[in-house]
Amino acid sequence: MRQPHPTPELNLLEDQLRRFLVRDIAPHYHQWERAGIMPRELWRQLGAQGFLGADAAQAFAGAEAGYAAAACIIQTISAAGFAGLASAVAAHNEVAIPYVMDLGTDSQRQRWLPGMISGDIVGAIAMTEPSAGSDLKAIRGRAEKIAGGWRLNGQKTFITNGIHADLIIVAMKTDPDAGAKGISLFLVGADTPGFSRGRKLDKLGQNIADTAELFFENVEVGEDALLGGEGQGFACLMNELPRERLSFAIAALGACDAVLQDTLAYVQERKAFGVSVAQFQNTRFRLAELHARVEVLRAFVRQCIDRQSRAELGTADVSIAKLVSSEVQGELVDVCLQMFGGYGYMKEYPISRAYVDARGQRIYGGTSEIMKEIIARELLGR
């Protein structure tokens, strides 16, 4: 219903996913959040139902359902209030799979994609390091050429799907003196000797999405592990970032829809001073403002989805989408939580989780400040 361009196929997909979320996710979600991780088996269930890599090519076991289907999956999970799950799925569907699909050779695609689509292989993307977040060029992880391949050394952090991942797409410096042109991407299987996972990190929210540190100690990989060409890492990342950032905007929109709907129901039910909370002008005006902002946002995100479907989405446009959507989401969850009064602070109310889940959105995938800088460059140059 809330999709940008509803078609019978998309409606069917959304309906099927919603039923899956209600039946197989909702009863356990709180428990998984407490555990700080979702069960590994869930990935195979998602795969079996066709929710992984929906737009990947049929030649590699994908459904070629188009980008709109991929977008619909993220939005539907998020609109059910499962932001952590949406993040985990987005890291796999909207980042790892497209990297392999877009940048991989046929043999790399053949090796990894069918398993990623079935859920047997969970993907993660490893860029951030302890001292290099927004400033990606400052990464220190090194890949040195050895006979027949590469030797990787380094440490990555804040890696979504870090505990479950079977395939890590890792950014390393292949030429430390070449700046952005010295970065390359590698496909590393988690069973490669020298690779290890650090502890699962305790986060403010999105607890179900396992986030971890990853260590590479003399990890030796073959020539065929290089993804997208030597020294091409930064350029590849730049090409793939629009899709990744758009997925955050789509997730933000889904979360806004869920929270607003929930809040509308609550303020109509809840009584204070003898009337429904929905009768107070403050409630009415604040919710009206939020609704207006969400609808404007929806139009922009819809436009971005169309452009992404035609492979025409620009960096500045997607930065606007990511900036505005995550800021709107942050404001919306804050204002809505306030409407719930003391109940909003209790974990048993979904608004409480929506609030902490939302806070990551203005940080990961490029902070709001980085988005502003990208937009400013478009306006003012460097």
Partner 1 sequence: MSQAVQLDQAEIDLFRENVRKFMEKEIAPHYAQWEKEEILPREVWSKLGENGFLCVDVPEQYGGFGASFRLSAIVVEEASRAGFGGMASNLSVHSDIVAPYILHLGTEEQKQKWLPKMVTGEAVGAIGMTEPGAGSDLQGMKTRAEKDGNDYVINGQKTFITNGQHCDVIVLACKTDPNAGSKGITLFTVDTSLPGFARGRNLEKMGHHCADTSELFFENVRVGAEEILGGEGRGFANLMNELPRERLILALGAVAACEGMLERTVVYVQERKAFGVSVSQFQNTRFKLAELQAQIAVNRAFTTQCTNEYDEGKLSTVNASIAKLTTTELQGKVADECLQLFGGYGYMQEYPISRDYVDARIQRIYGGTSEIMKEIIARSVVGK
CB of 244 to partner 1, least distance (A): 15
Buried b / exposed e across 199-213, counting CB within 10 Å, b at 16+? ebeebebbbbbbbbb
CB of 311 to partner 1, least distance (A): 30
CB of 22 to partner 1, least distance (A): 23
Nearer to partner 1, 246 or 351 (CB): 351
Nearer to partner 1, 247 or 326 (CB): 326
Nearer to partner 1, 59 or 376 (CB): 376
Cα–Cα distances (Å) from 166 to 49, 100, 325, in that order, read 20, 14, 31
> Do the Cβ atoms of 203 and 275 come closer than 8 Å?
no
Nearer to partner 1, 4 or 36 (CB): 36
Nearer to partner 1, 17 or 337 (CB): 337
Pairing of strands 123-126, 149-160: unpaired
How many other β-carbons are positioned within 10 Å of the β-carbon of residue 6?
Answer: 13
Q: Tokens standing for 36?
A: 């700080």
Cα–Cα distances (Å) from 140 to 119, 183, 211, in that order, read 31, 10, 20
CB of 131 to partner 1, least distance (A): 7
CB of 135 to partner 1, least distance (A): 4
SS (H, E, C) 119-150: CCCCEEEECCECCECCCHHHCCCEEEEECCEE
Check if 244 is active-site: yes
151 φ, ψ to 5°?
-120, 125
| Interaction site with partner 1 (CB under 8 A) | 128, 131, 133-135, 138, 157-158, 201-205, 271-274, 280, 282, 330, 334, 337-338, 341-342, 344-348, 352, 355-356, 359-360, 362-364, 367-369
Catalytic residue among 94, 213, 240, 244: 244
What is the set of active-site residues?
A: 244
